[in-house]
A and B are shown apart, each in its own frame.
Chain A
Amino acid sequence: MPDNWSYVFAAYGVGAGLLIGYWRHLARRLKRFAKSGGGADR
């Protein structure tokens, strides 16, 4: 079977994107609290 490196990089790229995206989402929310102390209560 050919190596299909493009599929390997795509899978790891999407995985990294999801983890980094969620990490940035959490960091933004914590930074907002540090600045104003407010946010939605869920």
Chain B
Amino acid sequence: MAARALGWLAVLALIAGLGAAFGYAPREAVQGNVQRIMYLHVPAVWTAYLAFGLVLVGSVGYLLTRRPGWDRLALAAAEPGVIFTGITITSGSIWGKPTWGTWWTWDARLTSTVVLFLVYVGYLLLRGMVDEPDRRARAAAVVGILGAANIPIVHFSVTWWRALHQPATMLGPGSAPMPLWMKMVLAINFLAFTLVLVYFLTRRMEIARLEQEA
């Protein structure tokens, strides 16, 4: 019942996010309406960071305590993390075509994001290859901890190396050179995606618990 209510809350927040991105946010002066992809692309990558941060928490928790609940948290966060990274990569590629003139370029931000995606796809594949639960959880926890090191690399890649991708506007050095309304639309969509993440997390943890009890 609580999960259903959370699901509906997430749907309402997504509708509010779409309304803000397409109704409230004005047409951007330089890029035109294609800039509205930002309200999907940026919150998606923040949510992916959050999900992989939870994989890190679950992985460390499991190695310290050996309690299966921590492993379930790590697993349940990894799957939506991969989904949100997939949304980040596809929306970025689609945004890149009209603005950069290409669907893809191997610059530092794009390449490190693909590496992040592949690390956590590998994390999920690894879980499918080991049968013994404790061995599987320990191996996955090591990958979950090492994989998290890639999050700052993705985020700061645009600062550390020359890149076609623009530097970090939010969560970067100095105050964000962005009007308040734009920050608000980003925040609404980030909140909506976070609710979706929490909903997916609770559902996936429930499935993992049922699997362990079966």
A positions within 8 Å CB-CB of B: 1-5, 7-8, 10-12, 14-15, 18-19, 22-23, 26-27, 29-30, 33, 37-42
| B214 beta carbon closer than 8 Å to chain A | yes
Assembled-state Cα–Cα distance A11/B97 (Å): 11
Q: Contact: A18 with B37, CB < 8 Å?
A: no
Partner of A41, one of B33, B94, B133: B133
| B40 beta carbon closer than 8 Å to chain A | yes
Instruction: Check A15/B33 contact, CB under 8 A, given A26-B207, A33-B207.
Output: no
Instruction: Check A11/B83 contact, CB under 8 A, given A4-B32, A4-B34.
Output: no
CB nearest neighbor in A for B76? A26
Assembled-state Cα–Cα distance A40/B136 (Å): 14
| B144 beta carbon closer than 8 Å to chain A | no
Q: Contact: A3 with B33, CB < 8 Å?
A: yes
Instruction: Check A41/B204 contact, CB under 8 A, given A7-B34, A11-B37.
Output: no
Q: Contact: B91 with A15, CB < 8 Å?
A: yes
Partner of A22, one of B32, B41, B83: B83
| B127 beta carbon closer than 8 Å to chain A | yes
With a CB–CB cut-off of 8 A, which chain B residues contact A15?
Answer: 40, 44, 87, 90-91
Residue of B33, B99, B206 contacting most chain A CB atoms (<10 Å): B33
Q: Contact: A37 with B210, CB < 8 Å?
A: yes
Q: Contact: B83 with A19, CB < 8 Å?
A: yes
Q: Contact: A4 with B83, CB < 8 Å?
A: no
Assembled-state Cα–Cα distance A41/B27 (Å): 49
Q: Contact: B200 with A23, CB < 8 Å?
A: yes
CB nearest neighbor in A for B129? A42
Q: Contact: B128 with A42, CB < 8 Å?
A: yes
Assembled-state Cα–Cα distance A9/B21 (Å): 12
| B30 beta carbon closer than 8 Å to chain A | yes
Partner of A39, one of B18, B90, B207: B207
Q: Tell me the minimal C-beta distance from B3 to chain A in angstroms.
A: 9
Interface residues of B in 52-83 (CB under 8 A from A): 75, 79-80, 83
Q: Contact: B127 with A42, CB < 8 Å?
A: yes
| B138 beta carbon closer than 8 Å to chain A | no
